[in-house]
Structures are given as C-alpha cells and as structure tokens.
C-alpha cells in the first residue's frame, strides 16, 4: 500500500536524501562561477547562462525520462513555475547580488542562510507543520555551523549597510520560497516539468535585466559554452531535479533547507582542494556542526513522535 505509514516514512527519507544530493551539486556553484568569470563571462550574465543552459538541457532529459506528455501543464502549473522562475531565480539573484555589492560575500551569505527560519515559519502557516525543540535547535545549530564554515570564525569582514541588509534578508526570503512553492508544485506536477518551466521563466526575466546580447563577442567562445553547459547540467538541472523530486517526497518542508545546507561543506572542500584556500579548526568545527544539525533534524525527535 502506497499510503501506509512504513511506505510514507521510506519515501520521506529518500526525499531528504535527494535534497542532500541537490545540496552537494549546489556546492559546485562557486567553482563554475569562478571558472566562467576567469573565461571572460560577466557576473551579470552568468545567471542567464545557468538557467538558459539548464532549460536547453532539460528538453532531452524530459523526452528520455517521461516523453512529450511531461511538457503538458495546466494554467495553475504555469503560474507556479512562472513565480518560481521570476521570484526564486530572477529576483533572488538580483537581491543576492545587491547584498554582496553592499556587504561583501561573507555577510551576504550569512543573511542568505536566514532561509531555514523563513521556511520553518511559512511551513507552519501553509502546511501546519509542528515546530518542535529539535527543529529549532537544528536550525540554529545549522546557521551557526554555516557561519563558522564560511568565515572560519573571522567576522572582521562583516559590514552593515541598510540597503545591503534589506537585500540580503530579501534574498533569504526568496530562497525560502523555492521550498514552499516547489513543495506545492512538485506535489501536483511532474518535477521535471516544474524545473523546466521555472528555468524558462527565470531566463526570460533575467535576459531583459542582464542584456546578454551586449556581451555576445565575449560569450560565444568554446570555453564559455562548454562551462555553461556543465554548469547547467551539474548545478542546475541535476541539483534542481533532485531538489524538487525530494520535495515531492519529503514529509516536512521545514527540514529541507537544513539538508540542502550540505552545500556549504562541499563548497568549502572545493575551496580547499581546487583553490588551495586555508581552512582552520574553526571552519572544520562549523562543518561538523552542519552535519550534526542534519542528524538532529532527521534522527532525533521528542518522545512520542515518529522520525520522518
């Protein structure tokens, strides 16, 4: 029986596992962005390259996996995907970029990781999910772990600017909407279709802002095309496929961002291995806390509650 508690529990666990895999693939974003910028791509255009390549690559993936019927989606589904694309990719990228501009990377990233708090609150409002002690503890531990992983304990680079802080909090909120809207949409529609149409909507929105045609001479090189396709395949198509597929199975949306935060650990290790960035004991402690927060979120619950 597909609706018995054991099956639901098993599906939920596999869903969180898929979200974890999405986080791993997102951890490569910094690597691809750096490589693309080194190849001559503008930071303003890279989000367009990402979602545009993702949309193109999704077509054969959908045809092979589900056939042409998977492209069929009703008006409500189109609206969901348009909102996902415009708000959670287009506006999110704009807000995040502005936050980095005014505050620097470290502060902007920390504001971005307010997303689990927003998801927890919104999940309570829309999905009636319980907010237990373990969930609050895991979220706080997760945020602190991300802070240590990203900064290595050095907060001297933190800056305050009202516009930057506002943009950073908006980025965190918009990032959280990916989970909320995605949970609703992926439960009703084929996750592949949701991913594809959100990429299309996000690309159209960002094209008018980034105006990539102004950089055509720079972008139309073999290296940038190959890197864009790899970026689109690994950290876009692959990550969003696992994320939305996992969302459709996950029992509690409020847990999802904590599992996805494995991204920070992967990004840190790529920094160590590829960019030879130093990571001291504080940074490794942060990584351990992120892992611990995931374990707390998934393995421990107050007495009387079943694990999900």
Instruction: Tell me if residue 113 falls in helix, strand or coil.
Output: coil
- In the prediction, which pLDDT does 233 show? 95
- In the prediction, which pLDDT does 52 show? 94
Q: How many CB atoms lie within 10 A of CB 11?
A: 14
Instruction: Tell me if residue 221 falls in helix, strand or coil.
Output: coil
- In the prediction, which pLDDT does 3 show? 64
Q: How many CB atoms lie within 10 A of CB 47?
A: 23
Instruction: Tell me if residue 216 falls in helix, strand or coil.
Output: helix
Phi, psi of 65 (to 5 degrees): -80, -40
pTM over cut 0.85 = yes
What is the C-alpha end-to-end distance of the chain, expressed in Å? 18
| Summary count for the chain: helices (H), strands (E) | 16, 0
- In the prediction, which pLDDT does 118 show? 93
Q: Residues with Cβ < 8 Å from 84, sequence gap 6 or more? A: 177, 178, 181, 182, 185, 194, 198, 201, 202
Tell me the pLDDT of the chain (308 aa) as tens digits: 456 666 777 888 899 999 999 999 998 988 898 899 899 988 889 899 999 999 999 999 899 888 888 888 899 999 999 999 999 988 988 888 888 788 876 677 778 888 999 999 999 999 999 888 888 999 999 999 988 888 787 777 667 788 888 998 999 999 999 999 988 888 788 888 888 999 999 999 999 988 999 988 888 899 999 999 999 999 999 999 999 989 988 888 989 999 999 988 998 888 888 878 877 898 899 999 999 999 888 765 545 455 44
Q: Residue 97 and residue 174: Cα distance in Å, rounded?
A: 13
């Amino acid at each position: 029986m597909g609706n018995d508690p054991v099956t639901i529990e098993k599906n939920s666990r596999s869903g969180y596992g898929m979200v974890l895999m999405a986080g791993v693939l997102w951890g490569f974003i910094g690597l691809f962005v750096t490589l693309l910028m080194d190849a001559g791509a503008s930071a303003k255009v890279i989000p367009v390259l990402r979602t545009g390549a993702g949309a193109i690559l999704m077509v054969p993936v959908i045809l092979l996996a589900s056939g042409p019927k998977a492209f069929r989606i009703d008006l409500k589904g189109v609206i969901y995907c348009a909102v996902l694309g415009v708000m959670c990719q287009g506006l999110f990228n704009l807000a995040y970029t502005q936050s980095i501009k005014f505050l620097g990377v470290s502060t902007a990233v920390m504001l971005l990781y307010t997303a689990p708090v927003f998801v927890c609150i919104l999940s309570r409002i829309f999905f009636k999910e319980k907010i237990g002690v373990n969930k609050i503890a895991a979220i706080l531990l997760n945020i602190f772990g991300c802070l240590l992983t990203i900064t290595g304990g050095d907060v001297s680079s933190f800056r305050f600017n009202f516009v930057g802080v506002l943009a950073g909090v908006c980025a965190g909120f918009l990032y959280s909407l990916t989970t909320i809207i995605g949970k609703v949409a992926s439960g009703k529609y084929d996750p592949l279709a949701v991913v594809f149409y959100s990429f299309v909507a996000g690309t159209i929105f960002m094209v008018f802002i980034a105006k990539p045609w102004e950089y055509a001479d720079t972008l139309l090189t073999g290296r940038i095309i190959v890197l864009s396709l790899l970026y689109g395949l690994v950290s876009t198509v692959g990550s969003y496929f696992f994320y939305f597929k996992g969302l459709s199975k996950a029992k509690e949306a409020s847990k999802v961002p904590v599992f996805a935060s494995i991204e920070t650990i992967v990004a840190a290790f790529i920094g160590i291995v590829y960019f030879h960035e130093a990571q001291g004991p504080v940074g490794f402690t942060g990584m351990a806390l992120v892992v611990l927060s995931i374990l707390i979120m998934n393995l421990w619950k107050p007495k009387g509650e079943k694990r999900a």
